[in-house]
Amino acid sequence: MKAAEAIYNGLKKSTNHAVYLVDALDYSSFFFRRFYKETYFFLISKVPAVWGFCFGLLDIPRLQPLIRTLRRLQNRMNTKKLQQFFKEEQFDYIIMTHFMPTEIAASLKRAGLISSKLITVITDFDVHRIWLADGIDTYTVASDWTKNKLEDMGIPHERVFVTGIPTDEKFASPVAMDVLKKKLGLQEQMFTVLIATGSFGIGPIEAIIETLKGFQVIVVCGNNQGLYERLTAQKSPLVHVLGLVDNMHELMAVSDAMVTKPGGLSISEALVSHLPMIFFNAIPGQETGNIKVLETYGVGMSGLSIDQIGRQLKKMRSSNEAYLTVRKKIRALARPTAVSDIISLIK
């Protein structure tokens, strides 16, 4: 949704097009919507190995005919409102930041029920076959690595554009650091670590904080109310505890490094903010795939114990040369113009 919002805001600001922002799940059946969200949360939080197995299974090339048949049957049964919406509106373009509407729109186009130009914005650095569908006119991807993999999967190179993952323009906007730190109640000269847990607030957050004595720490707990209450009860003056936030661009701007789950959008926001990253608690599948791609660019650190996370952050704090080297690699991979580059594909 954040990627879709960034494109929506860009279109509203820079064009005169009529633009609609839609959550595809709002156009699905009640049962399907609840099952989709709750099953995903259960798998990644309770049995991530099962999620990783399913993710890998769905990416096996020889199983794709069966998988696509089952997906189309499931979508036909559960997303009738979305299909009807696409058919009634007959949009000139449909830009999709998730694989579920990608398959639905492509199926309608193959059947001749819509004639829209279809743009799929892949929001991870690695790419899974579930994103692919016959009938998609354009794919936008995060990196050259991602483009090469799509082409290896059989997508013609002229349909794939390296734009980066779209982020809100606020992440690339310059800020008055002293003013912003004062606004957020932060000490100005201290090395600041942002711990971002994702919307679900999963991971060994308390243990990571414990190893960061002497750092100024911002913790975003997301929807994990229990974690938020435990941390706020400790009342540590150097640990700033937040719940679900809408100013992540400000938090990234005032931070010197981020400890985060490796979701595609979080990574892209950090890249645009030139923020060094240490990854933890990666979900098997899409997040471990993101790490794999970033390693080829020398960006981000993963597979560290909690003590090693603390040691790496101390190294960044003590060595200006090492810190600047990390930021240089980040700037080379950042794509702050992703939104405008995607909009430019609309003829």
Please give the full DSSP string across 209-274, using - where no structure is assigned: HHTTTTSEEEEE-TT-HHHHHHHHHH--TTEEEESS-S-HHHHHHH-SEEEE---HHHHHHHHHTT
Is the per-residue pLDDT at 294 higher than 90? yes
The C-alpha atoms of residue 333 and residue 172 are separated, in whole angstroms, by 14
Q: Could you tell me which residues are beta bridge partners of residue 271?
A: none
Q: For residue 76, what pLDDT is reported?
A: 85
Q: What is the pLDDT of residue 260?
A: 92
Give the confidence band of 200 by pLDDT, cuts at 50, 70, 90.
Answer: low
Model confidence pLDDT, tens digit, residues 109-127: 999 999 999 999 999 999 9
- Position 37 scores a pLDDT of 83
Residue 46 CB partners (closer than 8 Å, separation 6+):
none
Q: In the prediction, which pLDDT does 7 show?
A: 98
Torsion of Cα atoms, 187 then 218 then 233 then 283, to 10°: -170
Exposed e or buried b per residue across 314-337, where buried means at least 16 C-beta atoms within 10 angstroms of its C-beta? eebbeeeeebeebeebbeebbbbb
Which residue in 297, 302, 309 sits closest to 261, CA to CA? 302
The mean of the pLDDT values for the chain is: 93
pTM of the complete model: 0.93
Fold of 169-333: Rossmann fold (3.40.50)
- Is the Cβ–Cβ distance between 291 and 279 less than 8 Å? yes
pLDDT the model gives residue 205: 87
Pick from 185, 196, 198, 246: nearest CA to 219: 196
Average pLDDT of the residues in 179-197: 94
Domain-by-domain residue ranges, the chain? 2-162, 169-333
What would the pLDDT profile of 255-273 be if each residue is shown by its tens digit? 999 999 898 999 999 999 9
pLDDT for residue 198 is more than 80: no
